[in-house]
Amino acid sequence: MTARARAWLLLFVMTGAAAQTPSPSNGANPVPFDTPGAASVPVLPSIAPPGPVSPTTIPTPTSGRASRPAPAVVLPASGALYVQRATQFATRCAQLNGLSLPAQSIGLPTRGAQIDSAAIVAATAPGNQNGEFCRITGSIRTIKPNTPDIHFDLNLPRRWNERALQIGGGGYNGVVVSGTGVMPFSPFRAPLGQGYATFGDDSGHVGTPALAVFGLIDEAVINFGYAHLKKTHDAALSLIQLVYGRAPEHMYFAGGSTGGREGYTVVQRFPDDYDGVIADSPALNFSGVRLFGVRIGQAEYASPGGFVPPALLERVYQRTLDVCDRLDGAADGIISDVSSCRAHEAEVIDPLRCPARARSDAPAPDTDACLTDAQLSTLVALRDGLNLPYRLAWDVHGYRGYNVFQGTRFTGMLGLAHDPARPPPVPTFVPNGYLYAQGDGYVRYFVTHDAGFDTMRFNVQRPGKYQAQLVALSGTIGAMNPDVSHFIARGGKLITLHGLADEVISPNTTIDYYNTLLTLYGFDTVNQFMRLYMVPGFQHGNGVFIPSVDLLGALDNWVTHGVSPETLVAADIAPPTNGRTRPLCRYPLFPRYVGKGSINQASSFRCDESPTP
């Protein structure tokens, strides 16, 4: 697996951080600390670590769109002045050690923040490809003593491009996002290396993206749901203003999966704080996908014969390719025309059905060779999604299903269960399925507050005494609110990329949300602020086509210069087909082969709309 392919998985499953890969920068031109505009930055006011600082010495966070004074005109720095200003930057960085930020500098209730460390990372430091920067770690103190603090990292480059980027997490978070590596939305060079001030956090608990134990602590749940985003943003913005003497010209957010949900969360809850957002594969309906995961686990393990072995799942996938691969004009291993493929579903399923047994005492079919009725029921449940008799927050009544018979592969580490035996008390990803394992933790810790609860007996349709908690959670952790009018009004921009073959977060939920926006605001308004790219063959960070495309550059160009992104070109970083390209089409369009030219070149495809509604 390539480094950039690993970055997708790290973003979605682990954290927003990723390994660094050298490549030329194509981002905005950095403004070094020792150039015009930086020379006039005032000396840090009376910082004497480790003692606390008076609130009057801490800048009040301002919007990322705040106007800035014109930079002073100064002569180019001489060698001696260059060294002097580099030393000044290092001094300011070191002075942050032990600094306390007062609670009033953060827009939501906290007990303030503490800088745990601040040190210069030299441009020549081993493994550093980002130039010289100040690396800051800090803790935002929670209100209740039994609630874990929010831990964050902030990276301030000496050659700053006057932009800041907050980076989202993955899964249940629990790991601080470092913000120092390349990202799937910035694959050619790390944003930090391009001059962005970058920051991220652990959302207010220490663990892994698979652990939901913190769901027992109410304040930690609120932090995970939305509050950590605002708290970390405000703390980071205070520090940025303190070091550089001014707010960023533009503030961005970017993330995928949980980080994608976080992107939509800031659009809906904190629209004044961001000029642009990248929200990929967003877990918009977080409660819905967790409940659905429990329902699928029950179909596999609580329903007799419902387990579908990986070998049979692979047969379903290969049959789908046989039927639908050429619908887009090219036999390239990618099902691009998903809508047309739905009309061929019977052609996929019928040859895979087990033959009817003529006698009741006939031998049971080989369950690895054909689909029994029970196994097909599991897959149909996965396709149909969840329809609830009660309403979650924002009038949500369920969860949309997956493209099971249109090219989604459920055999990987994020797919369905691999082990036919009833799961242990704590199910895990590969043996018991990602959807079920994550849903199980959600129900036990967030919903029932009972670590020993058996989710095999949880009634998703009629949760009884747990229904009120489910509804409340869906409002705390979720981004299905269609009211984005404030973000639109102030000129914010939003880019979302989602794989049509995603096996973790249903792409159909993202499409439904987009269609809701079209209904509420009309195409012209949505077109002014949002771009949706649905990618054929792309799963949840993996797949037969893994797109590598500079969405951060596209977002910055849109925000800064008003150049709206249209059809983009994505390079495939899936190892077997690394290097082929495809047009990245705006939804509802998809890449169709024009009938001539190499099928490995984007120029041989055009963006087309499916004839099937």
> 153, 202, 419, 502: which one is catalytic?
502
Q: Based on the number of CB atoms within 10 Å of its own CB, is 468 exposed (0-12), middle (13-18) or buried (19 or more)? A: exposed
Q: Which two tokens stand for residue 202?
A: 């652990």
Written as one letter, the residue type at 512 is: D
Q: How far is CA 347 from CA 138, 342, 476, 613, in A?
A: 57, 10, 42, 19
* Pair type for strands 113-121 and 100-101: antiparallel
Is 561 noted as a catalytic residue in this protein?
A: no
Sign of the CA dihedral with 450 first, then 455, 461, and 464 last: negative
Rounded distance, CA 430 to CA 262, Å?
Answer: 26
Q: Which two tokens stand for residue 541?
A: 């960070």
Written as one letter, the residue type at 347 is: E
- H helix intervals, 96-227: 218-222
Q: Which two tokens stand for residue 154?
A: 């902030």
C-beta separation of 492 from 277 below 8 A: yes
Rounded distance, CA 530 to CA 589, Å?
Answer: 15
DSSP secondary-structure letter at 11?
I
> 151, 281, 540, 548: which one is catalytic?
540
> 100, 178, 257, 474: which one is catalytic?
257
Rounded distance, CA 302 to CA 297, Å?
Answer: 8
Strand partners, 156: 134
Strand partners, 607: 591
Rounded distance, CA 303 to CA 301, Å?
Answer: 6
Is 344 noted as a catalytic residue in this protein?
A: no
Q: Which of 273, 274, 253 has its CA nearest to residue 168?
A: 253
SS3 256: strand
- The per-residue b/e assignment along 133-163, b for 16 or more CB within 10 angstroms, e otherwise, is bbbbbbbbbbeeeebbbbbbbbbbbbbbbbb
Rounded distance, CA 568 to CA 583, Å?
Answer: 6
Q: Which of 217, 261, 224, 60 has its CA nearest to residue 150?
A: 224
Q: Which two tokens stand for residue 494?
A: 């939003």
Q: What size, in residues, is the chain?
A: 613
Is 502 noted as a catalytic residue in this protein?
A: yes
CB atoms within 10 A of CB 569: 14
SS3 282: coil
Q: How far is CA 604 from CA 333, 536, 550, in A?
A: 16, 16, 21
CB atoms within 10 A of CB 81: 14
C-beta separation of 159 from 167 below 8 A: no
* Pair type for strands 589-593 and 530-535: unpaired
Catalytic residues: 257, 502, 540
